[in-house]
Homo-oligomer: A and B are copies of this chain.
């Protein structure tokens, strides 16, 4: 359920699986038919959106009909059409709510080690993917019949919210184009990785959560290796991290890997620039 202000009606067990014939009264069925109060126009609209969001989260839009939504809302088909011109409008409104809910999950107090903050956010993000992803996955994959300028705008807004949250936690005054690219690319990584996970569920969600955070840390380090200004910020970032946090565990895993026989020798050989040649290593 993605409405941020919980709808008092959506959760009620009043759903009517077999609504009677068309009842185009927008205020709902008569009070004598069922023991419930009439919903106000706003409440009814919110209820329809909440019900639609639930259905659209579970199944792709082509597998959800207006009749399904009407049935789940205990409403008639004409009543749904009274509020929304068609399925696409209801789908887009559901997606907009889902997007707002998701963007809300990105908010995190600016306290504690950065990788632990991101780890908490990713836990909430992956919960969302699990509960809402099945229905919206096709849209993100780009193959949905319901894709439109409206749906693209919502997706862009969510990506933008993620981008801004990350930059605000990094607290780097004037992020370079390279750092912005790194952040965007990592967001794409998180999207595609969670979509793949939804399709195959080939590893535990907690592992995915840790991996994505560690990949962000690694991307940040890689970017810092190219950008001296970011390198200076990296020292304080590392100083705040803890050995049992995602960054600490990454450092330990990498230290173990790079000390392994075969790898250690090869990496040591690579660490020395080729002798007698002008170094091709560009510093800017």
A positions within 8 Å CB-CB of B = 140-143, 145, 147, 149, 152-153, 155-156, 177-178, 180-181, 184-189, 191-193, 196-197, 200, 202-203, 207, 210-211, 214-215, 218-219, 221-222, 224-226, 231, 234-236, 238-239, 241-244, 247-257, 260-263, 265-267, 269-274, 277, 279-282
Contact residues in B for A249 (Cβ distance below 8 Å): 280-281
Q: A212 to chain B: closest CB distance in Å?
A: 9
Q: Which 7 residue pairs across A and B have the least CB separation, nearest first?
A: A235-B262, A177-B202, A238-B266, A143-B152, A188-B192, A225-B253, A251-B270
Instruction: Taking A239-B262, A252-B281 as given, write out 19 further A-B residue pairs in contact, using a Cβ cutoff of 8 Å, ordered by the A residue number.
Output: A141-B152, A142-B152, A181-B202, A184-B192, A185-B189, A218-B219, A221-B257, A225-B250, A226-B253, A231-B263, A235-B262, A236-B262, A242-B270, A243-B269, A243-B273, A244-B280, A248-B270, A248-B273, A251-B267
How many copies of this chain?
A: 2
23 intermolecular pairs with C-beta atoms under 8 Å apart: A141-B152, A178-B203, A185-B189, A185-B215, A188-B191, A211-B226, A218-B218, A222-B254, A231-B260, A231-B263, A235-B262, A236-B262, A239-B265, A241-B270, A243-B269, A243-B273, A248-B274, A249-B280, A251-B270, A252-B271, A252-B273, A253-B281, A255-B271
Chain B CB within 10 A, most for which of A191, A210, A242, A255:
A255
Contact residues in B for A257 (Cβ distance below 8 Å): 221, 224-225, 231, 234
Contact between B253 and A272 (Cβ–Cβ < 8 Å)? no
Main secondary structure of the interface of A (DSSP, over half): helix
Contact between A261 and B235 (Cβ–Cβ < 8 Å)? yes
Select one of B189, B219, B247 contacting A270, CB under 8 A: B247
Select one of B185, B235, B280 contacting A260, CB under 8 A: B235
Q: A221 to chain B: closest CB distance in Å?
A: 7
Select one of B155, B241, B274 contacting A242, CB under 8 A: B274
Q: Known: A263-B231, A263-B234. Contact between A225 and B254, CB under 8 A?
A: yes
